Structure 1
Amino acid sequence: MRLRFALLLSVLSLPLHAAQLTLQLGDSDKQWQTAELLQHPQARDIRIEQDVSYKKPMTYRAVPLAVLLEGIKPDDHLQAVALDGFAAEMPAAALLKQGPAQAWLAVEDPAHPWPPLAKDKPGAGPFYLVWTHPEAGNISPEQWPFQVASIRRLPPVAERFPALLPAPGLAANDPVSRGFALFQKNCLACHRLNGAGDAQFGPDLNLPYNPTEYFRPEFLRRYIRDPQSLRQWPQARMPGFSASILPDADLDALLAYLGHMAKRKL
């Protein structure tokens, strides 16, 4: 009887909808289960004052992401892949910092699920990369991937996808070169360009046409700042990039890159 009772208690204590996070950081993969992360020695409750996805303050049980990235160095490159095909490209340096802007892996407790992101949409779980004090690190919305399924170390974007590269010989401070870096940070998580990229979320931004070819410049700027101001539809997913996230000079550089790549179609 005691054995049966003990077994019953152990079964009841298991999460009903536990999930698994896969880390591909070296020669072998490591899997973390929901319960393991919730009980991690460094797990704690954190408050996000302005959550990018929920658009309001949120509290999460979370683990500092840096403690999970064993063997990763600041000059490494990581990619967080979500269940819906979103693929956030992230230099490791920012993820490893202890602050003031710090990355956390928020873990959804199956016994207390997070709310839906919107009507008829799922929540951000089971794993969500969130930031405390993101303003201190110039963290963009695309660096908040939710429904994360895996995090993997990969070669830099320029090595993996040469079709994204601007013309050779440009100076490092050329607006097109700067725009390429901004494209990787803000656009590549959702979009491909010239068929290159891992995202399976949004349309290709050069094939068959580049947005600089069919948007008037003032409307393209407005669309990037506030997509719903031009095209309103219930299932819209593209976030707006305010001037606090993408300053005007950065937006100029991003548009310079897009316009440049319109002449480099593959």
Structure 2
Amino acid sequence: MRHCLPLLLILLGLPLQAAQLNLELGDHTQHWQTTQLLEHPQARDITINQDVTYKGTMRYRAVPLATLLEGVRPDDHLQAVALDGFAAEMPAAPLLQSGPAQAWLAVENPGQPWPPLAKGKPSAGPFYLVWTHPEASGIRPEQWPFQVATIRLLAPVEARFPALLPAPEVPADDPVRQGFALFQQNCLACHRLNGAGDAQFGPDLNLPHNPTEYFQPAFLRSFIRDPQSLRQWPQARMPGFPESVLGEQELDAVLAYLKHMAGRKHYTATP
């Protein structure tokens, strides 16, 4: 009977059960219900002109994210975890600013659900991190996590996952270092490397083999730019990274980091 309840509610024309957002912010945890957020004193109706997920103009009931991040400091590090295991790593400073780019938590009203992401797919709800004027701060697509379930305060990636670090002797201005930073922003939300990372979404990019080891360079670049141009697969979930998102020099840096890490495989012993 428990599994039949959502279907019964749909058949009766009733809204589905509201969701809960979990905030794990260091020494305190908060839980926000959908209704509480929709009725939040600072909730607003906002328009997003170039929505990253829906590829067009969308209107949302949303709360300034900074309002919910009590006690978080600009030099802190946050992670937004989605229902499907996507784990977006985000420095706190852009999330706390009130402009020019501003982060908002869009809240899906169960009685007025958002469009599905694709045929047979759910929507971007129940909670979706969106931005007004994202171009003003260079906000990347991976900083728009949807289907968010939890936002938590964590140590920076470098401290949590030393297996991701380039060799200590790599100079600070080396493209490998820039590639590591870009990898955190664009890849770590879906992938692990050397078994390190919190994502449960995509495959490990170094174990057992690094893509620089089995892709010819030109094909690897094509795959990153447009995965479907190399492997047409209806169920594929990896997005492409056009030059507007990842410039040529930035892509060079990511590939330099991956190639470097192919020589730094770290295997975790299993019990």
TM-score (norm 1): 0.93
Match of 1:5 in 2: none
Aligned to 1:33: 33
Flag structure 2 segments of 5+ consecutive residues without an equivalent. Answer: 1-13, 267-271
* 8 A contact 1:107–1:127 mirrored in 2: yes
1:165-212, CA deviations, whole angstroms, 9 ceiling, x for partnerless residues?
A: 110022222100111000000000000000000000000000011011
The equivalent of 1:252 in structure 2 is 252
Q: Kindly tell me the number of residue pairs found equivalent between the two proteins.
A: 253
User: 1-side partners of 2:169 and 2:212: how far apart?
Assistant: 23
Q: Shift of residue 236 of structure 1? A: 1.4
In the alignment, does 2:55 pair up with 1:64?
no
Identity %: 77
Q: Are 2:213 and 1:182 equivalent residues in the alignment?
A: no
Asked whether the 8 Å contact 1:195–1:207 carries over to 2, the reply is yes
Residue of structure 1 equivalent to 2:227: 227
Q: Any idea what the Cα deviations from partners look like across 1:94-117, whole Å, max 9, x if unmatched?
A: 111111211110000011001110
Relative to structure 1, the CA distance from residue 202 to residue 221 in structure 2 (aligned partners, 3 Å threshold; closer, same or farther) is same
Deviations along 1:228-263, one digit per CA (max 9) or x if unpaired, are: 111111111111111111111111111100000000
Question: C-alpha displacement at 1:217, in angstroms?
Answer: 0.9
Distance 1:110 1:243 in 2: 37
* Alpha-carbon distance between aligned partners in 2 of 1:233 and 1:135, rounded to the nearest angstrom: 31
Q: Deviations over 1:33-71 (max 9, x none)?
A: 101100111111111111111112111100111111111
CA distance in 2, matches of 1:82, 1:38: 20
Question: 1:6 matched to which residue of 2?
Answer: none
Taking the TM superposition and a 5 Å limit, the aligned residue runs for 1:53-132 are 53-132=53-132
Aligned AA for 1:79? Q
Per the alignment, residue 167 of structure 1 pairs with 167
> Equivalents in 2 of 1:121, 1:258: separation in Å?
32
How many Å apart are 1:16 and its aligned residue?
Answer: 4.1
Matched to 2:25, the amino acid is L
Q: Which residue of 2 aligns with 1:3?
A: none
Q: Deviations over 1:56-95 (max 9, x none)?
A: 2111100111111111111100000001000000000111
What displacement does 1:15 show? 6.3
8 Å CA contact 1:138, 1:245 repeated in 2:
no
Amino acid of the residue matched to residue 148 of structure 1?
A: V
SS at match of 2:50: coil
1:142 aligns with 2:147: no
Aligned partners of 1:135, 1:153: CA distance in 2, in Å? 25
Q: 1:117-171, CA deviations, whole angstroms, 9 ceiling, x for partnerless residues?
A: 0011111100001111212221111111111000000000011001101100222
Separation in 1, partners of 2:146, 2:51: 11
CA RMSD of aligned residues (A): 1.2
